[in-house]
């Protein structure tokens, strides 16, 4: 369960960073209703995308069983590296005029964009030793809570914390990938 919570938290970091940006950009300051609106959108996308990735992995289960730990490591290392790179890249901070509060189709696109990583991570769900639907629900719930909290905190912390959260999330994903690889290679996981 600890690995699942770490994975859920790491996958939620893109949504957390986006939520901080939304909170920082919103004028007047966003309230609980706006925070929940964003949180539900991000949480729903983060619930569905790993489920999609998991279902695709089931279709090819026999083919990838011998190398699933390498695939998990490669995917999580790539996703984590991309998150760290994005967090370290110059010019990723948004001003209030560049990032108006998202609604409707814009929020849907933002929710899907921040959950693409979760689809790739869905391939790793069988390695977590939790039922896939439960794992997807946990990922979505953690994302909802963290995203809503980020919107509320965004006006206070600004977008700089969003970059740090994205870097931390990337490092955690790389660590989870490494753990999966080490367990399978050395401990018969």
The model's pLDDT over 30-79, given as tens digits with 9 standing for 90+, comes to 888 889 999 999 999 999 999 988 888 777 766 766 777 787 788 778 87
Average pLDDT for 24-30: 72
Q: Which pLDDT value is given to residue 61?
A: 65
pLDDT band at 94; cut points 50, 70, 90: very low
In terms of pTM, does the model score above 0.95?
A: no
Helices (H), the chain: 2-11, 13-25, 32-59, 61-64, 68-88, 104-121, 132-157, 160-186
Instruction: Determine the average pLDDT of the residues in 133-140.
Output: 94
Nearest 5 degrees, angle CA 186-CA 126-CA 16? 100
Per-residue tokens: 82: 């991309």
Check residue 65 and give its pLDDT. 64
Whole-number pLDDT of residue 146: 96
User: How confident is residue 137, by pLDDT bands cut at 50, 70 and 90?
Assistant: very high
Question: Which residue do the tokens 């996958």 mark?
Answer: 11
What proportion of the chain, given as a percentage, has pLDDT over 90? Answer: 21
Compute the distance between CA of residue 22 and CA of residue 8 in angstroms, rounded to an integer: 21
Which range is least confidently modeled, 73-82, 129-138, 144-153, 157-166?
A: 157-166
d(CA 105, CA 116): 17
Q: Residue 10's CB: how many other CB atoms inside 10 A?
A: 27
Per-chain mean pLDDT for the chain: 80
d(CA 117, CA 42): 13
Distance CA 105, CA 111 (A): 10
pLDDT at 19 over 60: yes
Helical packing angle, 13-25 and 160-186, nearest 10°? 170
Higher-confidence position of 159 and 62: 62
Residue ranges of domains in the chain: 2-186
């Amino acid at each position: 369960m600890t690995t699942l919570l770490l994975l859920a938290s790491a996958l939620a970091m893109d949504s957390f960073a986006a939520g901080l940006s939304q909170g920082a950009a919103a004028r007047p300051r966003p309230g609980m209703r706006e925070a929940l609106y964003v949180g539900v959108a991000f949480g729903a996308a983060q619930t569905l995308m790993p489920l999609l990735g998991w279902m695709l992995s089931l279709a090819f289960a026999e083919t990838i069983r011998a190398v699933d730990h390498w695939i998990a490591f490669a995917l999580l290392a790539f996703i984590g590296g991309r998150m760290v790179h994005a967090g370290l890249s110059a010019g990723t901070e948004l001003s209030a005029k560049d990032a108006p509060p998202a609604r409707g189709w814009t929020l849907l696109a933002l929710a899907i964009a921040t959950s693409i990583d979760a689809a790739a991570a869905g391939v790793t769900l069988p390695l977590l030793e939790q039922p896939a639907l439960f794992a997807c629900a946990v990922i979505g719930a953690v994302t909802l809570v963290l995203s809503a909290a980020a919107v509320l905190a965004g006006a206070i912390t600004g977008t700089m914390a969003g970059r740090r959260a994205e870097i931390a999330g990337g490092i955690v994903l790389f660590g989870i990938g490494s753990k999966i690889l080490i367990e399978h290679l050395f401990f018969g996981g």
